């Protein structure tokens, strides 16, 4: 989705610029036609043709991207958002998660990666499923060869098959229903909650025993000098501000990187710097999960290809 939206937006931004440029040059010659002006205009005809050709190319790219997006990607993204949040775009609670999932599973235009990702969101949203239901899903969707992309999440402590313990471990999230979001990107990564809690010194010490408390001025509770300082620009402010460094082992997504930017923008005294071992895409994440295995002797999880 990200790839097509970026191409479309850049194409749509470029088209008005080209149209304005061609139009202004045409208006400059109106009412002033003479033999010399006409000769100059004739010389520039190839240039105008080239500009028009560029416009047509951008329009075709934008149209192809939108056709691709409308045909499959838009509906798939909506299903993913509804399953991840448990609510639809109108804020109504999803009553039947299987009914939301089914259109993706029966759609032949979606590949196995799309279907497995949707199945995982369904399982996460219900905090696990029964072994019988899981076997039926794998068999009906015909993903037996890739079933480890689902089953191996147990190695990371994620409940796939329902247990009494899994029903009690669902953690609460911050209420962001009042925040403005796009319909197809309503989900907020958990890491944004962690960043905000770290800045406000609200992290649970049991879950984060090695994180020291942030300086008081970060959240406005500490004393701040009242001396007048010369105004500085944005870059100078960021250079002199405190920094919250977040490093994620195992990869981060583009949306998680965006969260670091958003939290930085919202905070007046702290810049969030985020890093990781690598960038995770939906396809790479599933491939990594499939490669997981565990040794029986030490219960150590590692990648099969390492």
Average pLDDT value for residue range 59-67 = 88
Query: Does 223 have pLDDT greater than 50?
Result: no
Give me 157's structure tokens. 């402590």
Q: What is the band of 28 on the pLDDT scale with cuts at 50, 70, 90? A: low
Element (H, E) at 90: none
Which residues lie closer than 8 Å to 33 by C-beta, 6 or more apart? none
DSSP per-residue letters across 151-215: HGGGGGT---B--TTGGG-PPP----TTS---GGG----HHHHHHHHHHTT---TTT-TTPPPPP
Element (H, E) at 248: strand 242-248
Q: What is the pTM of this model?
A: 0.70
Q: What angle do CA 200, 188, 221 make, to 5 degrees?
A: 10
What would the pLDDT profile of 128-178 be if each residue is shown by its tens digit? 999 999 999 999 999 999 999 999 999 988 889 987 665 655 667 788 877
Query: Does 251 have pLDDT greater than 90?
Result: yes
Give me 100's structure tokens. 């939301």
Residue 24 burial class via C-beta count within 10 angstroms: exposed 0-12, middle 13-18, buried 19 and up: exposed
List Cα–Cα distances, 19 to 22, 23, 25, 206, 255, in angstroms: 5, 6, 10, 60, 34
């Amino acid at each position: 989705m990200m790839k097509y939206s970026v191409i479309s937006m850049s194409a749509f931004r470029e088209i008005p610029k080209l149209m304005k440029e061609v139009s202004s040059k045409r208006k400059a010659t109106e009412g002033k036609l003479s033999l010399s002006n006409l000769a100059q205009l004739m010389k520039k005809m190839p240039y105008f043709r080239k500009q028009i050709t560029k416009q047509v190319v951008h329009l075709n790219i934008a149209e192809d991207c939108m056709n691709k997006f409308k045909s499959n990607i838009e509906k798939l993204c909506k299903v993913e958002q509804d399953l991840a949040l448990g609510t639809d775009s109108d804020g109504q609670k999803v009553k039947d998660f299987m009914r939301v999932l089914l259109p993706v599973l029966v759609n032949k235009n979606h590949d196995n990666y799309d279907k497995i990702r949707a199945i995982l969101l369904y399982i996460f949203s219900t905090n696990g499923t029964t072994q019988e239901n899981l076997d039926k899903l794998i068999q009906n969707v015909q993903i037996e060869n890739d079933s480890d992309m689902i089953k191996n999440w147990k190695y990371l402590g994620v409940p796939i098959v329902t247990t009494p313990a899994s029903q009690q471990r669902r953690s609460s999230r911050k209420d962001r229903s009042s925040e403005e979001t796009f319909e197809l990107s309503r989900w907020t990564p958990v890491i944004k909650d962690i960043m905000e809690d770290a800045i406000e010194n609200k992290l649970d010490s049991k879950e984060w025993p090695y994180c020291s408390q942030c300086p008081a001025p970060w959240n406005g509770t500490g004393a701040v000098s009242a001396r007048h300082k010369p105004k500085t620009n944005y870059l100078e402010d960021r250079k002199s501000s405190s920094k919250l460094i977040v490093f994620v082992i195992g990869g981060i997504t583009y949306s998680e990187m965006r969260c670091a930017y958003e939290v930085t923008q919202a905070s007046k005294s702290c810049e969030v710097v985020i890093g990781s071992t690598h960038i995770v895409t939906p396809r790479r994440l599933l491939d990594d999960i499939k490669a997981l295995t565990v040794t029986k002797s030490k219960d150590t999880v590692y990648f099969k290809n390492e």
